[in-house]
Amino acid sequence: MTLKHVFLAALATLAAVTLTAAGPGSGTITGKITYDGTPAKQKPIDMSKEPSCASQHPTPITTETVVTGPGNTLENVVVYISAGAPDEAAPSAPVNFDQKGCQYVPHMLAFQTNQELKISNDDQTSHNIHPLAKINQEWNKSQPPGTPPIIAKYDKAEMIHVKCNIHPWMSGTFAVLKNSHYSVSDKDGNFKLPNLPPGKYTITAWHEPDQEMTQDVEISGSETKTVSFVFKLKPY
Amino acid sequence: MGKLLAVTIIIIAIASAVPFVMHTWEPPADVSTHGGLIDEQMADTMIEAGVSFLAAQILLGLFIWQFSKPRTDSKVKTFPGGAKGLVIAAIVLVGVEVLALGAFGSKAWAAVYFTPPAADAMPVQVQAGQFAFYFRYPGPDGKFGPLHPEMINEGNQNLFGLDPEHDVESRDDVVTAEMAIPVNKEVHLLMHAKDVSHSFYVPALRIHQDFVPGLDLSLHFTATKVGTYEIVCSQLCGLGHYNMRAYLKVLSQQDFDEWMKKEQAAQ
Amino acid sequence: MATTLPPPKPELLSLPERRQNGHSGGGQNLVPAGGDLRVTQHYSPPASSSAIWVAIAAICMSFAAFTSALIVRQGSSNDWRHITLPSVLFLSTLLLLASSVTLEVARRRVAAYMGGATADIAPSRLWMYLTLGLGLLFVAGQYAAWLQLRSQGLYLATNPNSSFFYVFTAIHAVHVLGGLAGLLRVIRKLGNASLRRSTLDATAYYWHFMGVLWVYLFLLLWLKI
Amino acid sequence: MHETAAPAVVHGPPTTFLSKHVFSLDHKVIGLQYYTLALVAVVTGMVLSWLMRIHLGWSSAAIPGLQVLSPNGAPGGVMTPEYYLQLMTMHATIMVFFVLTTAPFAAFGNYFLPIQVGAEDMPFPHFNMMSFWTTFTAFLILVAAFFVPDGPPLSGWTAYAPLSAIGKNAGPGEGTGQVLWAAALGVFCIGQLLGSLNFISTVLDMRTKGMTLARLPVTCWAWFITSCMGLTAFAVLMPATILLILDHVAGTSFFIASGLVLNDQLVPHSGGSTLLWQHLFWFFGHPEVYIAIVPGMGIVTHVLVTNMRRPMLSMKAILYSMWALAFLSYMVYGHHMFVSGMNPFSSLVFSFPTLMITIPSTVVVLIWIGSLYGSKLRINTASLFALGFISMFVSGGVSGFFLAQPSIDIMLHATYFVVGHFHMVMGVAAMFGIFSGTYFWFPKMTGHMMNETIGKIHFWLTFVGTYCIFMPFHYLGWAGNVRRYAAFTDDFLKPLIPVHQFITVAAIFTGAVQLLFIYNLIYSRFRGPAAPANPWEGTSLEWAMPSPPPWNNFGGHDPIVYHDADQYGVKTASGADYIMQNSPEQALGTAEGD
């Protein structure tokens, strides 16, 4: 490695640190996702067709289209800055998407455009990964057990529904986003967008299959603002 | 070298027949009311085919043995009876025999396809889709709710596209991933294809029928033995074809009722 | 120039029978390439006259398959909407039928010329060109019919009836274009005096068959069975 | 007797390299081009079958290097299920269309049909040349499917709609790959229609003086019958492929029914008929099977009659049987669809003509076997393969007894029993016909004898090997082993995996043996001893010309034919036991003993 390369690398690291690490005057947006109404009943999944997976779930897992917590909190909502923040280059670290027990882990995976996506199969059976991209290039690949991870990238922002064609109950979402300011609500519905430079932002909360809410937030200095979203849910 | 060929052909012929004679590999034991006729037909055909096969190969071998010997005399002989005898043999011994076999076999076919289901047959709908079977029982109201293909969503397990919000009949429908039926009770199977052609093949039940997209077919059968059997897809339907299967549980009426209760609770 | 060929020599008109001994001979009936037009009529290899029937059989088979597809498709669903055929089709049907008549006139004139009954080849060429023109008009008519359907919002995928209409007319038009190419070839060969009677006949049979096929397709689409 | 000196000129001698070897009008060159195409195709198809077999025996094993060939299809060398199906589709399509149709019919037919009828060439040499080059184009289009992003289609060679019609949503390869597949078949049809047209016209119109229909060698009849089948069958496949392509690219709904849902999305088509494709396809598909086997039957009869040194017991019975097979082939296609959802009454209606096929088939087999009786059988590689053909034809044929019956089809439909059946009867038997024809005619085609020792080793290993591969298929099917599975994960299939492993080993071995054949072809082509004009003492016209024949076959003269091609086992003045078709000599009597 030449000196020039070392220098450039150092410069890049420095830039990355200034961008991501909390510099003076960077704000944070936190909040909670809750819902109103009656969420759809999550049905147990019968995996008897795939005995090697069924045996991993002594009590059947349920669908994950709506995952709620105590106090009407809503999990798996992706919250991101949809306007106000510049597009960012992808970080070099890949994101992992696992298939385990015929289930996607995580169910909702958010990552950046052009960021490396590493898909692994931890099961004893072949899986098929079919992200139903509409803006990005759609692809459909199978992954036999014991084969190397599938590496993929998406170059446009999109919410992509992911399916396994071999195991029709497997369902997940790729949230491909333009910048690093995103968060997926945890089991208590909490999300946190740190390190925001001062500015006016539009933040969007998105829940599958296609529910979307936005709010405008202004950050001035190193403050923490709280924003809440309340999704309306219907039983069917 | 002719003799070697003769011996090889005869050895291969006999060796080929051995696994059939010894029943080394067999279809799963029949557990249906109609399967006996099919099994009988298979056994009869096996005898006819086996005899024809061995006779032809052995005759071929014997003649090669006999007539590949280098001979100095210039004489050739003609098969006694000439062509006429052989043509008659082909028509009478093989043709008529096989046609008769076919005529008797239509009885087995008729038993499956030309009989109406009993009035009290239990209706079960099966939907084949890439790459799983799903089953639907009409529930206490005895009625299947209408299908709305545009509402199908596998992510939330609305596998048939039911609309319980608007369709009252759909609310008590029981959707399952395995098929359970009571033993000795006729089942009226309503077959629906979600996407492409599939097939419903249960070797133990002697049932095999393709799903036709756009055309709902039906079958009826009675299982006679409690147990778990495999339902497999035999019509190439895409990449997961090999993995498209479901289990058929033949249960006693009591066990079936319990199973149904459990499934209803899970809806 | 073909028109300046001398009248036939009498000895050439009494050549032996083409088929002998109950079997059709083959190679010996071939003539030297570029042979005299008046000679070739008797020596013409019959290959093209039987081949044309073989070709017609194959085309019949294809359209039988298309027809059965139409019948099955019509019965498979209730989404069949009868379309009103563009009126220009009646005109183009007449054009195609007329072209068969003109070609037949041309064929008989060439036959008369080859047989020595007339020495003037010019009128038969005129009839040939007329046939060619009518054939081209027919194809143009089909194109007009497509435009007419488009203007009604009926495209290839609009409904099964329009799908079959476009498929039938397009495949038939391709075959007609093939016939036009054959006609051009005949005209060229007539020009340099290398035309064989069997080539002419085969082309004419094919052309008449195109007419018959079109009438069949037209009725199939028009009768709304 | 003098030969007629007719200046028959269909086309002049070739003058340039291109017109001699590439765009040749010469039926012999076109025949060799077809043969080469078939050879390339068969090697491709065989390699595909190896890969499939390895995967079926050891489904989680990595095949070294496969990940380089197809990074998506075999990540880390382990085949994905879709890649297996894609290879399977390509294996079947390549084998059925570009080997079994081209080699025995188009290749040998092109080379020997005009010669055997005593013609200088086919009547339409330009069509003939186009026929090859369209077929070649079709092959390129088909193989191109390997190089598009999603790869070749996975819907099998039968391409059942709607799987094949919906597009890429139905699975990898169902988009561009499937369209390429359909286009390849459509183009292939054009090539075969042109070929059939030429074949039929050649037999009808190009026979030389004295070559009555009754004197035609049996091979000519076989090719003629095949052409008649090809003409009608390919004329039906072509419309089907056109409609399939339109469903893909133009949004029509010929084959796609309403309300289909893939990946939770409603397919935007409606009202199409699923069974329509199957009807059109099998109306072509069943005759296609006979297109593959009837030329083989002709070749085998021709080779046997030459090597038995006696006429067939009844050539007429063989001819009528071949016609009967051709005729029946159009009435039986429904037996592929017994459980497809077609009216169950039609299944019975289709069943009886299917069972009737046993009659002509048995007649042919019994005539072959009966003719062996009392013959002076010469054992050489060609006759070994011909005898092997009979054995294979019988083995593959008797399983038809089962499959012709709808009630038994309930158990055996779409199992390995069917795979074993058609591989034996139209795969291996037809291949044996091709091998037999190759060893028999190679001296004529190249002017060099083939190496008999290598040939015999090739026969023995192939004969035993193919039985080891395809007999167990029947056992698997009997146990209910469903075909077209990329792996066997069902409880009732797992115990059968050792059988699959045995088959895989046998397949790799038998495939490797074919290298001997290819070596023999290449070696003998250049180093084989010079072939005499009539090495096997045959009677038909191809033996009445030098090896290899000159560009205009009979040197500008037309032979005159005096006999049929069955003048074997006769007494002649010269002491030979045969009289050639173009020899005016009359037999002094038959050499028949008691």
For an interface test with B, the pick among A41, A48, A160 (most B C-beta atoms closer than 10 Å) comes out as A48
Read off the pLDDT of each residue in B187-216 and give the average, rounded to a whole number.
95
Look over chain A and give the mean of its residue pLDDT values, rounded to a whole number: 87
The single residue listed with the structure tokens 């055929």 is C85
CB contact under 8 A, B246 and A236: no
Chain A partners within 8 Å of B133 (Cβ): 49
| Residue B112 banded pLDDT, cuts 50, 70, 90 | confident
User: pLDDT tens-digit profile of D125-145?
Assistant: 999 999 999 999 999 999 999
> End-to-end distance of chain B based on CA atoms, in angstroms?
72
Of residues B1, B86, B215, nearest to D366 (C-beta): B86
SS3 state of residue D489 = coil
Question: Quick one: pLDDT at residue D16?
Answer: 84
**Out of C27, C45, C61, whose CB is closest to D232?**
C61
The verdict on B183 touching D (C-beta cutoff 8 Å) is: no
- Rounded to a whole number of angstroms, the distance from the CA of D271 to the nearest CA of chain C is 5
3-state secondary structure chain C: CHHHCCCCCHHHHHCCCCCECCECCCHHHCCCCCCCHHHHHHHCCCHHHHHHHHHHHHHHHHHHHHHHHHHHHHHHCCCCCCCCCCCHHHHHHHHHHHHHHHHHHHHHHHHHHHCCCCCCCHHHHHHHHHHHHHHHHHHHHHHHHHHHHHHCCCCCCCCHHHHHHHHHHHHHHHHHHHHHHHHHHHHHHHHCCCCCHHHHHHHHHHHHHHHHHHHHHHHHHHCCC
* Shortest alpha-carbon distance between residue D264 and chain A (Å): 10
- CA dist D87 and A167 (Å) reads 23
* Alpha-carbon distance B36 to nearest alpha carbon in chain D (angstroms): 11
Closest CA in chain A for residue D265: A132
Residues D34 and D42: their CA atoms lie apart, in Å, by: 12
Residue of D nearest to A142 (CA): D80
Per-residue pLDDT, B156: 85
pLDDT at position A219 is: 87
- pLDDT at res. D353: 92
**Which of A41, A43, A49 should be substituted to probe chain B, the one whose Cβ sees the most B Cβ atoms within 10 Å?**
A49
Does residue D168 sit at the A interface (CB-CB below 8 Å)?
Answer: yes
Residue D343's nearest CA partner among B197, D351, B207 is D351
Tell which of B51, B242, B243, B248 to mutate to test the D interface (max D CBs under 10 Å): B242
In the predicted model, is pLDDT for residue C87 greater than 60? yes
Instruction: Looking at the complex, report in whole angstroms how far the Cα of residue D401 sits from the nearest Cα belonging to chain B.
Output: 7
Per-residue confidence (pLDDT) for residue C121, from 0 to 100: 80
Q: Which domains does chain D have, with CATH numbers?
A: 22-255 (1.20.210.10), 273-530 (1.20.210.10)
Partner-chain contact D166 B196, CB within 8 Å: yes
Contact by Cβ (8 Å): D165, D202: no
Question: Average of pLDDT values for D272-291?
Answer: 94
Q: Which residue of D has its CA nearest to A144?
A: D80
Tell me the average pLDDT across B114-132. 94
For residues D163 and B198, what is the distance between their CA atoms, to the nearest angstrom?
10
Half-sphere exposure of D234 (CA within 13 A, CB side): 25
**Contacts across the A-B interface (CB distance below 8 Å):** 69
Q: In chain A, whose CA is at the least distance from the CA of B241? A: A166
pLDDT top residue among A233 and D153: D153
> What would the pLDDT profile of C144-187 be if each residue is shown by its tens digit?
999 999 999 999 988 899 999 999 999 999 999 999 999 999 99
Residue B137 binned pLDDT confidence (cut-offs 50, 70, 90): very high
Q: What is the pLDDT of residue C2?
A: 38
Q: Do C27 and D240 touch (CB under 8 A)?
A: no
**Lowest mean per-residue pLDDT among B154-168, B233-247, C56-70:** B154-168
Map chain A to HEC letters: CCHHHHHHHHHHHHHHHHHHCCCCCCEEEEEEEEEEECCCCCCECCCCCCHHHHCCCCCCCECCCCCEECCCEECCCEEEEEECCCCCCCCCCCEEEEECCCCEECCEEEEECCCCEEEEECCCCCEEEEECCCCCCCCCEEECCCCCCEEECCCCCEEEEEECCCCCCCEEEEEEECCCCEEECCCCCEEEEEEECCEEEEEEEEECCCEEEEEEEEECCCCEEEEEEEEEECCC
Name chain D's partners: 3 or more CB pairs within 8 A.
Answer: A, B, C
The answer to whether B235 and B266 have CB atoms below 8 angstroms apart is no
Cross-chain Cβ contact C23/D207 below 8 Å: yes
The closest alpha carbon to D435, from D363, D369, D382, D375, belongs to D382
Collect all residues of chain A within an 8 Å Cβ-Cβ radius of residue B228: none
Query: From the candidates C23, C43, C174, C203, which should be mutated to test the interface with D, based on the most D CB atoms within 10 A?
Result: C23
B28 in contact with D at a CB cutoff of 8 Å? Answer: yes
- Our CA-based measurement puts residue D236 at a distance from the nearest CA of chain B, in whole angstroms, of 22
User: Closest Cα of chain B to D185: distance in Å?
Assistant: 20
Listed range (A210-224, B228-242, D447-461) with the worst mean pLDDT: A210-224
Residues of A in contact with B239 (CB under 8 A): 128, 142, 165-166
Rounded to an integer, what distance in angstroms lies between the CA atom of residue A161 and that of residue C181? 54
More confident residue, A39 or D464: D464
Which residues in A lie closer than 8 A to residue D168 (C-beta atoms)? 138, 140
Average pLDDT of the residues in D11-28: 86
Do the chains contact at C27 and D119, CB–CB below 8 Å? yes
Instruction: Tell me the whole-structure pTM to 2 decimals.
Output: 0.92
Residues C167, D243 contacting (CB under 8 angstroms):
yes
Sketch out chain A's domains with CATH numbers. Answer: 26-233 (2.60.40.420)
Query: Does A68 score more than 70 pLDDT?
Result: yes
Contact C23 D9 (CB under 8 A): no
Q: Which residues of B touch A45 (CB under 8 A)?
A: 157, 177
Mean pLDDT of chain B: 92
**pLDDT over 50 at D119, yes or no:** yes
Kindly report the nearest CA distance between residue A141 and chain D, in angstroms.
Answer: 7
The predicted pLDDT at position D360 comes to 95
Tell me the domain boundaries of chain B.
2-71+78-113, 122-266
Q: Do C28 and D119 touch (CB under 8 A)?
A: no
Please indicate if any CB of chain D lies within 8 Å of the CB of A142. Answer: yes
Interchain CB contact of D150 with A (< 8 Å)? yes
Residue C24, pLDDT above cutoff 50: no
Verify whether the Cβ–Cβ distance B83 to D492 is below 8 Å: no
* Structural tokens at position B85: 């005898």
Q: For residue A236, what pLDDT is reported? A: 72
pLDDT of residue A208: 85
Partner-chain residue, chosen from A125, A138, A147, that has the shortest CB–CB distance to D75: A147
What's the half-sphere exposure (Cβ side, CA atoms, 13 Å) at D448?
13
Physical contact, A and C (3 or more Cβ pairs within 8 A): no
Number of neighbouring beta carbons within 10 Å of residue B157: 24
Give me the mean pLDDT over the D514-520 stretch. 96
Q: What is the DSSP letter of D530?
A: B
D235–C77 CB contact, under 8 Å: no
Q: What is the mean pLDDT of chain C?
A: 80
Model pLDDT for residues D410-421, shown as the tens digit of each residue: 999 999 999 999
Which of D124, D252, D281 to substitute to test the interface with C, most C CBs within 10 Å? D252
The stretch C35-55 carries a mean pLDDT of: 60
Per residue in D252-262, pLDDT (tens digit) is: 999 999 999 99
Distance between B259 CA and the closest CA of chain D, angstroms: 23
Nearest residue of A to residue D63, measured between CA atoms: A147
Four-CA torsion B13, B15, B17, B21, nearest 10 degrees: 150
Is residue D533 within 8 angstroms of chain A, CB to CB? Answer: no
Least confident interval from B132-146, B197-211, C69-83, D22-36: C69-83
Asked if the model's pLDDT at residue C31 lies above 50, the reply is no
Question: Which residues of chain B does A64 touch, with a Cβ-Cβ cutoff of 8 Å?
Answer: 155
pLDDT at C222: 86
Q: Looking at CA atoms only, how far is residue D577 from chain B in angstroms?
A: 8
pLDDT of residue C37: 36
For residues D522-545, give the mean pLDDT.
95
D389 contact residues in B (CB cutoff 8 A) = none
Beta bridge partners of A213: A205
* Residue in chain A lying closest to B240 (CA): A166
Give the architecture (CATH level 2) of B122-266.
Sandwich (2.60)
Q: How many CB atoms lie within 10 A of CB B261?
A: 11
Give residue-wise pLDDT tens across range A87-110: 989 999 999 999 999 999 999 999
With CA atoms as reference, the chain D residue closest to A168 would be: D263
pLDDT band for position B94 (cuts 50, 70, 90): confident
Distance of alpha carbon C69 from alpha carbon D271, whole angstroms: 13
A124-163: pLDDT as tens digits: 999 999 999 999 999 999 999 989 999 999 999 999 999 9
Q: Are C132 and C184 in contact (CB under 8 A)?
A: yes
pLDDT at position C9 over 60: no
Summarize pLDDT for D215-243 with one digit per residue, the tens. 999 999 999 999 999 999 999 999 999 99
Distances (CA, A) of D237 to A158, B179, C85, D259: 43, 40, 28, 27
Q: Do D372 and B64 touch (CB under 8 A)?
A: yes
D126 vs chain B: nearest CA distance in angstroms? 41
Answer yes or no: is pLDDT of D313 > 50. yes
Q: Which two tokens stand for residue A80?
A: 């991101």
Compute CA distances A130 → A106, A161, A174, C213, D262, whole Å. 16, 8, 11, 48, 12
The average pLDDT across C193-210 equals: 89
Map out the domains of chain C with their CATH numbers: 44-78+88-222 (1.20.120.80)
